[in-house]
Amino acid sequence: MPENMLPPLIVITGLTATGKSALGVEVAKQLGGEIVSADSMLIYRYMNIGTAKPTLEERQGIPHYMIDLIDPDEKYSVALYQEQATKCLEVIIERRKIPLLVGGTGLYIRALTEHYNFPGTENNHELRQSLVRQAQKYGQEILHMRLTQIDPTTAARVHPHDLKRVIRALEVYYLTGKPFSYFQKRGQKSKYNLIMFGINMERQLLYRKIEERVDKMLRLGLVEEVQNLLNKGYDVGLTSMQALGYKEIIAYLKGKNTLTEAIYLLKRNTRHFAKRQLTWFKGDKRILWLKVEQDNISEVAQKIAGRYKEMSKILR
């Protein structure tokens, strides 16, 4: 299909705590857009504070998709996200609205903006448990080294401590005989007219924003939210419950550390997460980076809206 006939897609991504959600709403208001979340934690119900899920008030009437889809103990996959989010984009485009993909989960974004053909393999419980036991016995780095040997392309994209995705990539290889990267046809063009923005800020400001965000979560009741999840019977070993912001508070509630220690770890781990995000996104040359300062969300939103309008004129 000629480029000027492809539907538009604005992507707003970048580091945690930089204000992507608020920025997405501002851009949507200026362009008549609707938002599809690209955040792997916003899919969970009952997990609102620790995920920094935008409230209805913060959404300001802008429709948001791919939020509150499943309970914390339900299984989910990137392949399922790809299928469901693609349908959401189609709905928005049919409504003659501008779709915005907003969030910081890099694999979710690539699943929608590149030709990712996910392998149709079911999870093999015995194989997966065997790999988990190996990670526990020998360390997570051993599995990542093994992945590097059989699929260096995928290993370069997955952090050694992202055990879930390391195991999934190994699982695909063992079950299909082909590396996970075989199923990702990155050379093909996107089926959207993409305009991608990455949001970053000066490091000290970012670290201050991270600290302020964690402090706000605690004021809003993060500890109580985690306790309620435990009271509902959600196991601490669930993928959702091991997420940033939850595993640290669970350790406190289980008596493994003090609240002060839990807060310190949460802030530190969030800083480390931001560094990993930057490493991931810096490898995507399609992204135009914009620097956010203390109170210039509206200004950055105007830049994004202006770039989109310029692109639209060129493609007419």
Instruction: Give the chain as a DSSP string.
Output: --GGGSPEEEEEEE-TTS-HHHHHHHHHHHHTEEEEE--TTTTBTT--TTTTPPPHHHHTT--EES-S-B-TTS---HHHHHHHHHHHHHHHHHTT-EEEEE-S-HHHHHHHHSEE--------HHHHHHHHHHHHHH-HHHHHHHHHHH-HHHHHHS-TT-HHHHHHHHHHHHHHSS-GGGGEETTSPPSSEEEEEEEE--HHHHHHHHHHHHHHHHHHTHHHHHHHHHHTT--TTSTGGGSTTTHHHHHHHTTSS-HHHHHHHHHHHHHHHHHHHHHHHHT-TTEEEEE--TT-HHHHHHHHHHHHHHHHHHH-
Min mean pLDDT across 48-57, 187-196, 299-308 is at 187-196
The Cα–Cα gap between 62 and 102 comes to 13
Domain ranges of the chain: 3-114+188-315, 125-185
- The pLDDT of residue 305: 96
Sign of torsion, CA 269 273 279 282?
negative
> Does residue 253 surpass a pLDDT of 60?
yes
Question: Contact at 8 Å (CB) between 97 and 34?
Answer: yes
The whole-model pTM stands at 0.85
- The pLDDT of residue 316: 63
Sign of torsion, CA 189 192 195 201?
negative
The Cα–Cα gap between 234 and 70 comes to 13
- The pLDDT of residue 176: 80
Predicted confidence (pLDDT) per residue in 203-232, tens digit: 999 999 999 999 999 999 999 999 999 999
CATH architecture of 3-114+188-315: 3-Layer(aba) Sandwich (3.40)
Residue (of 284, 288, 101) closest to 199 by Cα position:
288
The Cα–Cα gap between 247 and 252 comes to 9
User: How sure is the predictor about 273, in pLDDT bands with cuts at 50, 70 and 90?
Assistant: very high
> Does residue 125 surpass a pLDDT of 80?
no
Question: Contact at 8 Å (CB) between 205 and 296?
Answer: no
> Does residue 2 surpass a pLDDT of 60?
no
CATH number of 125-185: 1.10.20.140
- The pLDDT of residue 240: 95
> Rounded to an integer, what is the distance from CA 218 to the centroid of its chain?
22
- Report residue 186 as tokens: 């990155």
